[in-house]
Structure formats: structure tokens, C-alpha cells
Chains A and B, each alone.
Chain A
Amino acid sequence: MPVDTTADSGPLLHAEKVTMRFGGLVANRDVDFTIPRGSIVSLIGPNGAGKTTFFNQLTGMLTPTSGDIVFDGASLVGRSPHEIVELGIGRTFQNIRLFGAMTVLANVMVGRHTRMKASWWASLLKLPSVRVEEEATRQRARELLQMVGLKRRYEEDWARNLPYGDQRRLELARALASDPKLLLLDEPTAGMNPGETQQMTGLIKRLRDELDLTVLLIEHDMKVVMGISERITVLDYGEKLAEGTPEEIRANPAVIEAYLGKQATSA
């Protein structure tokens, strides 16, 4: 039964029987997955469970061996990453991957690339329309930097010179610059101390409300996952192990077993 991912109340993204094989290795097997509009959903699982592989199929870095992923009415299968950004999916990376030798502002402005129209010859001639668009982009980039809480004085600094926590914020601003409907966050609090982690989860929630976003995150920190998610999907050995609200997941014996081993459940 086809799922309508365009309706206002329905899911924004629906993945059906997604399988990803690398030679003999099956990284994802028949994963069904749904992200309701406006929700914050987490994807968790032990190391090597296939979370990042699944993520990469959503962003077009990988193409599923079989199965289909429908986002906002369009299939993502076979599309290249930049087309998927244009459709409205923005992402951040597990290990921060900024454009290190570009300014903070330029990083965010690159993020807006798909929403800009200036062609190469118009840019070359610096047509008035290009100047207007450039200025608007700069304004928008500044708004986003402010929104994620980066100080104005960092604007002209090199991205790689920012403190770690601010690099995470900048990556977030860059992802937001493409006006995504769905924001994919790959371990947004990795390497952060408890204070920074708390700020980041607060920020994610606030952004979701202010920008009308839907958020999917991969996260290892259970405090973060339980505190922020409305729904959680657990992957183990490439297959979906469980799905539900944080409470349901916390009580699910299969999940506890996957995380702590058999003794934990019997103890």
C-alpha cells in the first residue's frame, strides 16, 4: 500500500523494505521506517548496527540494493546527494566536516547553494540580480548563525579555527541554510560535555518548532535520545529490532538484550 508522504498530517518520509548489501555483507535488511511530519525521531543501535548506512541511503551517498524510500512524494532511490538536498533534506556529519579554509559565513552561504539562482555567467558579470541575491543570502546566513547561537564576531573567522562546540553549531547552520523540511543529524552531541549536550538538545527542539522542521537523529547518548525523541527506532545487525516511544523502547526486553547482552535481561 503506497504511503502518501505529501499530506500535511501523514509521514514526511517512508522507507519500505530497504536492503543494502556490500558484497556478502548485509548492512540493512528489509528495514521499514517512517518519520511523521514535525516529529523528532531517533535511530539507535549498537555499534555496526547499520545506522550510518541507513542514513547514507537517505542522503543519496548510497543507493539501496532493494526497497524504496519516499520523501515528500518523491522517491529518493537513485538520486544524487545534491538533488536530495534540493528536495529538502539537510544533514550534518558524525565527524564534523566543515569547509575548514572558508569563513564561517561562507560555509553557511554554500549551504544555501541550492536555493540560489545565480548562473556562472551572471556571477561573472556581477549582474544586479546577482548582487541582490548575494546580499539576501548573506542576510539569511547571518540570521541562521544567530539562530544556532554563533557569535557575530566569528563571522569572518575560518571555520576550522572555531571551538569544537561552535563547529557543531556551524554545521547545523549550514544544513539549515538549504531550507530543509527534514534535518538529519548524525550524532549531534558527540564529543560534547554535559553542559554543551544540554544546550544542543535544547537548540534542536527550538529549531524544530521555529523552522517547522522534522528531525531524524542518530545518537549514542541515551540521555539525549530519551530526552528529545518522540519516536525511536532500534536497529541491530542491520534489521529493525524495535520501534516506539521512548517509554516503550526502554521497557523492551529485546532492546535491553541487544545493548547489554543476555545476562542483563535474566538478572
Chain B
Amino acid sequence: MDLPMRRALFTGLLGGLAGVHVGLVGMIDSFQGRDTIADLITLGSMLPLLILLLVGWRAASPVKSAQLIPTGARTFILGAAAGATAGLILAALAALITAVNLRWILVNATPGLAEILQFGQGLVVGSLILIVGGALLGLAGASLHVVPPAIARSLAIAFVVSLAVALLEPFLGAVLRNLGLDAVEEVFFAGGGLTLVGAIVVFGLTAAGIYAWTTRGEGARERVAAMPADRRRNAKLIWYGVLFLLLLALPQLVGQRLSEVVGTVGLYVLLGLGLNIVVGFAGLLDLGYVAFYAVGAYTTAVLTSPSSPVFAPELPFWGALPFVIIAAALIGLMVGTPVLRLRGDYLAIVTLGFGEIARTIFLSAWAQPAVGGAQGILSIPPPLPFERDPQAIYYPILLFCIIAAVAATSLASSRVGRAWNAMREDESVAEATGVNTTVYKLLAFMLGAAFGCLSGALFAAKIGVVFPQSFDILVSINALALIILGGMGNIAGVVVGAIVLVGLPELLREFAEYRLLIYGAVLVAMMLLRPEGLLPSRQRQAELHERESDEDQYAETSGEETGRPVVTI
């Protein structure tokens, strides 16, 4: 057996095991309740299907180490072999579950899981379907290598987009209904996913759109670039205007319940924008960002709530805001100063500690008189003089998100942003180029803290209560994961990241249970396939896909180190 075939079988094995894992942790079973395409494929069956497609695609990709590129029929054979292997393993799992009761160790190894895997067709037919279907799906995955790249790209993106649209059904469906487009909603969505018609339309339109953009986009981009500056600015303004109006109307479009979710996404967008200044711009890996969030929330709570234990001036939300900013500056300095001399991993570990310290202090008996310990602080007034209404609280969140986005954009392309970037690239050279790295590090921490604290303040006002438990390390991880997913240094990326990592789990209860598992998988996949994030800033893209030929550019020569002969006197 030659190398590509061995790799194909190995890929199939890995894919099969991934399928077994996903099945045994219960994801397939619990995703079963939601259709991806109504009456055709459930979200649960989507998981093995996706795995089989990916396995086929991977098995037929070029073997880099040996520089072998599978061609022609070979591509399909490899894909089918890998898919069949993975299918075989899944079939074996189903058979095993049916034959032996494993539920006393593996609670999710239920007959129900076997039935889903065998498509309810019993052992023999079901296994056959799995193996043959696996081969066919593997073949389909592999065929992406055969068709022209532009088409493969369009199909892959259209697939992901259709899946996203299906997953966003609760959200998109609500929007359509609130717009009075019930008829459209009924044609496109059903059973928590797309209808067959909807799936075909969404897939077809996206594929066609992406294809047109990839093949003819160059011309369009050139025309845009050739447009006179003022017209380009106008076009940009119109685009921003439309976007702004949409954002203004959003709570009305999605209704009361989903406004809650949108608000939470907004809080994380704000967190992400703030953390992006620290991590994305200045390159300071802060794993304790939750400390800022907590300080903002508690400052607001103490200053505004009538039930806060000792100190109760009972300011309105907006009256407390200046104090929140002052607190942010102070906490930014407090975190920033001790870590000035730390770099990279060390900085990450110390800031991780700061995050935990913040939570522990708010929980402690020592601070209890001021912040209420484990009981927290209750009845924090909302920012607007209405009753607590998720549709109303959305607007202050939107306001601060826009402020943060504008601030981040103007800083990014200024003297300050350049100094931060230089620091991120090479701290000692930045210093030797004239950047006062001490000042700029502290500035990054303070501005990052300001946005984090604002997000915390809005969080407190949004839910009306604060408890120490709300401020655990998961908040830091969420914020960091969303900027990594979305694309570091990019504002649209932060929004997309927040929607995927915060919005989706809120929309789909099934996801919530597997949140961390999905995080892990998504982050690993991102690091392997697209380390620059979904919507990267140009900068990150350059950084991570730099010419892979760095070695064959001149080696870093220097007489001092190589001891090259120097004598020509």
C-alpha cells in the first residue's frame, strides 16, 4: 500500500473515531431534535455526515511531506476508501451498541443512537448504508480537489453558509415573522431548520454569488478602487447608514426574547473590542480580562443599587458611569504595572491569576460588607427609566459598541496603533525605534480595561444582579476565543465571533451543554485551517501566511555569529 492510501485509511480511522466520540458524548442524540433540512436531515445526522465529507476531502489532499498530489480517478478512490473506513467504524459502533448493553459505562450508548446511525434500517441494511454512504460522501469530499478551485471554494462556502442559516433558524425565523413575512418564513424554515426548498435556494444563491465574486470579483474590486475618492466615501456612508438603521431596528425585528440574546452578544462584542486592543493591537496576551468586566459590574452595582450593603449613594446608571471609567483606569494600571516586564507566556499566566484574584476578592468574607459576598448585590436599576426590558437595554449596549468600534478603528491607524503594533512585533526594537513601551503597554491595558468595565457595567444593569460566580474564567476564555475565531484585529471579525460563540449557544439549547467541546474543536480546527480567523485583518493574514520560504531567503547572516572569515587587509 502506498503512502497516500495509507494516509487515506488513517484519516478514515480518525474520522470514524471522531464520529464515535461525538456519538458517545451524546451530541448526535441530543441534536436529533432539530432539523437541518426539514424531514430530511436532522442536526444529529449532520454530524457524521460532515465528518465523512471532511474525511474524504482530507484523504484526497496533496501529501505535503512527500509532494504527492493525487490526480484523476485516484482522488476518488482515496476519498471513497477513507469515507468507507469511517463509515465502517460507525457501523461497528452501532452494531456493538445493539449487541451489548454499554450504558452502565457509556450513558449515551443507547439503542436510540444505534438507530440514528443505522437510519432506522436495522443492522444489515443500516451498516451497508453507512459504509456505502460513507464511501459516497468521502467521494463527494474528494471531488472538491478535482473541480476547479473557484467552484470548490463556492461549494464549500455555500455549504457552511447554508448550515449557518439553518442553525440561525430561531433568529431568522423570528425576524421574518416580525416583518410580517410569515409566508416566506413558512417556505424557507421548518422544524428548527431549513426546508428543502429553503436549503436549495440558500445553497444555490450563495454558491452562485461566491463563484461570481471569485471569478469576476477582481473586476468589481478594481472598479471600486478606480472610483473617485468622494464617491467611494459616499458609498461607504450609505452602507454604514443602512447598517446603522438595521441595528436600530434589530430589537423590534427579533422580538422580546431574542433581544435578550442580542444584548448578550453585544456585551461580548464590547468585551471583544476591548480585549482586541490589548491582545490584537498591542500583543499582550491577557487571560484575566474578566477582572475588568467584574470591576465594571461591581462598581455599577455598588454605586447604583439601593440594596448594596454599606455604600449606597444610589446614583443613576449614567451618574455611575464616570466612576466606572475611573475604576477602569485604576484597575488597568493595577494589572498593567506589575506585568510591565513580563512577556508572552509569563504575561498570560500572571494575568490569568489576576482574573481569579478578582473573583476571589468579590467572593471573600473580607470584601463582603461592601459587595455582598456570595449573595451578591441585587436590584441594580436599569440604565433607562423604563422597567427592565431587553429591547430597551439593547440601545445603550449598541451605543457603547459603536463608540468602541469607532475608537478602535481610529486608534488602529494612528501613531498610537502603530506603536502598539510595533510593540507586538518586536518589543525591544519598538523601544529602540523611539516608542516608550512602558507608557504604551499601560495605555493598552487602561483602554482595554475601560471597554471591559463598560461591558461589565452594562451587564450589571442588564440583568439587575451581580454575583461573584458570574465572573469566572469562562468570560475571559469566551472573549479571547471570539476574537481568535473572528480574526484578531478586525472589528467585523469580533462581531462574527461573538455571534458564533455567544449567540449560537444561547439560541440553541442543545449547544449549551457541549459548549466547551465545541469551543475546543472550533479552536483546534481554526488553528489548523485558518489561523488568521474568519474575517482577518490584512495584517494577521500576512503574519500567519508569510511566505513559507523564509528559510530559503538568506539565512540570518552575521559575521559575529557565523564567524565568517573577515580578513582582506
Contacts and interface: CB of A to CB of B under 8 A. Distances in A.
Interface of A: 46-48, 51-52, 59-61, 80-82, 85-86, 91, 93-97, 99-102, 106, 109-111, 113-114, 116, 118, 120, 123-126, 130, 133-134, 137, 158, 160-161, 163-164, 174-175, 178, 187, 190-191, 220-223, 250, 255-256, 259-260
Nearest to B565: A220
Given A95-B556, A101-B539, A101-B540, A106 B432 contact: no
B434 A158 contact: no
A99 B429 contact: yes
Given A82-B434, A99-B422, A118-B416, A221 B566 contact: yes
Given A102-B418, A130-B414, A222-B566, A113 B435 contact: yes
B429 to A, nearest CB: 5
Contact of A102 (B414, B415, B425, B436): B425
A256 B569 contact: yes
9 contacts: A80-B431, A82-B434, A101-B421, A102-B425, A137-B415, A160-B547, A220-B566, A222-B568, A222-B569
Given A124-B407, A222-B567, A259-B566, A110 B559 contact: no
Given A124-B410, A259-B567, A100 B425 contact: yes
B455 interface: no
A237 B252 CA distance: 78
A101 B421 CA distance: 9
A80 to B, nearest CB: 7
Nearest to B437: A82
Interface string B326-341: 0000000000000000
Contacts of A163: 553
A253 to B, nearest CB: 12
Interface in B401-440: 407, 410-411, 414-419, 421-422, 425-426, 428-437
A85 B432 contact: yes
Contacts of B569: 222, 250, 255-256, 259-260
A118 B542 contact: no
Contact of A110 (B430, B553, B556): B430
B434 A85 contact: yes
Nearest to A80: B431
B410 A126 contact: yes
Contacts, number: 152
Contact of A120 (B411, B434, B560): B411
A101 B415 CA distance: 16
B387 interface: no
Given A81-B432, A95-B558, A126-B414, 10 more contacts: A47-B563, A61-B428, A97-B429, A99-B425, A110-B421, A113-B415, A124-B407, A175-B433, A190-B557, A250-B569
Given A101-B425, A101-B542, A102-B422, A113 B568 contact: no
B418 A109 contact: yes
A236 to B, nearest CB: 13
A127 to B, nearest CB: 10
Contacts of A256: 569
B104 interface: no
Nearest to B560: A47
A41 B436 CA distance: 29
Contacts of A96: 556
A93 B429 CA distance: 9
A164 B560 CA distance: 19
Contact of A161 (B414, B416, B547, B557): B547
Contacts of A164: 553-554
Interface string B534-560: 000001101100110010011011111
B564 A220 contact: yes
The winner among A60, A175, A190, A255 for most chain B CB atoms within 10 A is A190
A81 B434 CA distance: 7
Interface residues of B, number: 45
A190 B559 CA distance: 7
Contacts of A85: 432-434
B546 A158 contact: yes
Nearest to A156: B538
B539 A102 contact: yes
The 3 closest A-B CB pairs, nearest first, are A123-B414, A85-B434, A114-B434
B329 to A, nearest CB: 12
B410 A86 contact: no
A120 B420 CA distance: 11
Interface string B257-299: 0000000000000000000000000000000000000000000
Contacts of A222: 566-569
Nearest to A114: B434
Contacts of B425: 99-102
Contacts of B566: 46-47, 220-222, 259
B411 A178 contact: no
Nearest to A83: B436
B136 interface: no
A123 B546 contact: no
B443 interface: yes
A61 B407 CA distance: 34
A191 B414 contact: no
Nearest to B566: A220
Given A120-B443, A164-B553, A187-B558, A99 B421 contact: yes
Given A111-B434, A259-B569, A94 B422 contact: no
B411 A134 contact: no
Given A85-B432, A85-B433, A190 B543 contact: no
Contacts of A255: 569
Nearest to A175: B433
A93 to B, nearest CB: 7
A97 B543 contact: no
A259 B265 CA distance: 68
Contacts of B447: 120
B414 A118 contact: yes
B416 A123 contact: yes
B546 A100 contact: yes
Contact of A123 (B411, B436, B539, B542): B411
B418 A106 contact: yes
A91 to B, nearest CB: 6
A191 B554 contact: yes
A254 to B, nearest CB: 12
Given A130-B414, A190-B559, A161 B542 contact: yes
Nearest to B403: A124
B421 A106 contact: yes
A190 B560 CA distance: 10
A118 B447 CA distance: 17
Contact of A160 (B421, B546, B554): B546
B431 A190 contact: no
Nearest to B569: A222
B536 to A, nearest CB: 11
A110 B428 contact: no
B542 A158 contact: yes
